Structure 1
């Protein structure tokens, strides 16, 4: 077990995007010299409190951290969820870009890193300032392509993506993901793009030249680690490689975690960030130290 060496300051903040939308964030600040700064980008529909133990751990190891909720999720809802300009594209273009700018403001003259969970790692190429990141570390980030999923999990994914999302959007104007254990309610366009991208290959690649006019996937050359669990039905080996393919110039390292070999019952898509699996956080810490 790693020993913590830094006391930290934690506070909730608001992050202003270029369109003046305000995101909810939490700042984790070491009280002594900072080793680097991390934007902790969430999975689709997951609130920032889910990452509190992990973010606290990184800050205790000397890294400044900002976690946040994308527009339309949790505390980043201003008015009706149906009136928010929320989409997966805007999460990358507007929200993640703003978080990195806030990170630079809070921790000037540092090296900046992305730690992404699922969508948090997938959307980085939409950030106009992505080249300012020194490295990227992701867990469970993949193309999420339905065609590469295996049965029986594929049945539930097929139902959610192609039946539940359209039905919920039609009757409620949003996707009530919480009804099927898939995080927070999702704005209509977020869920629609999610369905479209996962029914294709390369995730964001499905909208290149359409919804996505400009991007940086082809030019990002930063080192990146792609960590996934072998019991994850979404981010399986094929889908991780399918996502990595969209970053042709990135120096990529793919690492598979085998739960049984690690003495863990299940890891899946979410449990890496659970405090009960704190011994696995060394993967992220070692990566960050290597790329300080």
Structure 2
């Protein structure tokens, strides 16, 4: 690890006393701002280490974390974990932001959301402490807007594999089909329900979700997506943005061949092969630092 940044593993305790594994990246230079990296569904924080290191070299403090039930935040058998997408947004993400605020007071705070990490911010009671946010691949994930070539695969995973895996194993073995870490059953069940609806979290308003802040968010935001992303296509990104009626949103679609890469898709933006795209994030946050 480069000597001019410090990386430390920490434990974040949520309001309900659930412990989260996290990593704190601190620059040696004055901190321009502090960024929490919101992970995609079932993705461990180590996946974002190269990206977090880059952000830190640009003068930002960074926290990456494992949502409850994922990676090192799963201390028990995932089968018995009661985590849900709602608890990720209403318990885990606010606790991470509070830690960021306590570690780095009096600086602008940002969220870099990947997929679910950008979808769930409207469940954070302290969302208004953010200065701005940038998302990559965050969309409604609505099956109705999927491209035909991906639709069958999406329906199989959501509407056959998830219910069957939950029934047989008590959780979803996402790792068997290349969809990240094993998922707690409530996480997978809500994911299935919301992707079969419209507006992702909006499907849960009044049922899974009793309180939210989407209607009140007026933060500046940038929404990045890749043209070869079968999940977060342009229709689904705008479907997700519509859940934030007062949001200030910039949308930028990345074409892989325009940036000299074979593919970006839903995951590769955070790969070192796409590091020449990362200034799109830091340049945006610097505008509000």
TM score, norm. by length of structure 1: 0.97
Give me the whole-angstrom Cα distance separating, in 2, the residues matched to 1:252 and 1:84: 35
User: Cα RMSD over matched residues?
Assistant: 1.0
Question: Counterparts of 1:6 and 1:140 in 2: how far apart (Å)?
Answer: 32
Secondary structure class of the residue paired with 1:165: helix
Deviation at 1:6, TM superposition (A): 8.7
Q: Unpaired runs of 5+ in structure 1?
A: none
Q: Deviations over 1:152-207 (max 9, x none)?
A: 11110110000000000000000000000000000000000000000000000001
Q: Which residue of 1 aligns with 2:46?
A: 49
Question: Are 1:27 and 1:65, in contact at CA under 8 Å, matched by a contact in 2?
Answer: yes
**Alignment pair present for 1:253 and 2:250:** yes
Q: Does 1:151 align with 2:148?
A: yes
Counterpart selection for 2:5 from 8, 29, 34 = 8
Q: Does 1:190 align with 2:187?
A: yes
Dislocated runs of 4+, deviation >2 Å: 82-85
Deviation at 1:20, TM superposition (A): 0.3
Q: Which residue of 2 aligns with 1:203?
A: 200
Structure 1 pair 101–190 and aligned structure 2 pair: CA distance change class (3 A)? same
Tell me what 1:271 maps to.
268
The answer to whether residue 165 in structure 2 is matched with residue 168 in structure 1 is: yes
Q: Is residue 2:64 matched to residue 1:84?
A: no
Q: For residue 142 of structure 1, what is the aligned residue in structure 2?
A: 139
Q: Scaled by the length of structure 2, what TM-score is found? A: 0.98
Tell me the equivalent position of 1:67: 64
Q: Runs of 5+ in structure 2 lacking a partner? A: none
Task: Tell me the number of residue pairs that the alignment of Structure 1 and Structure 2 aligns.
Answer: 288
Q: How does 1:106-117 map to 2 (within 5 A)?
A: 106-117=103-114
Q: Deviation at 1:82?
A: 2.5
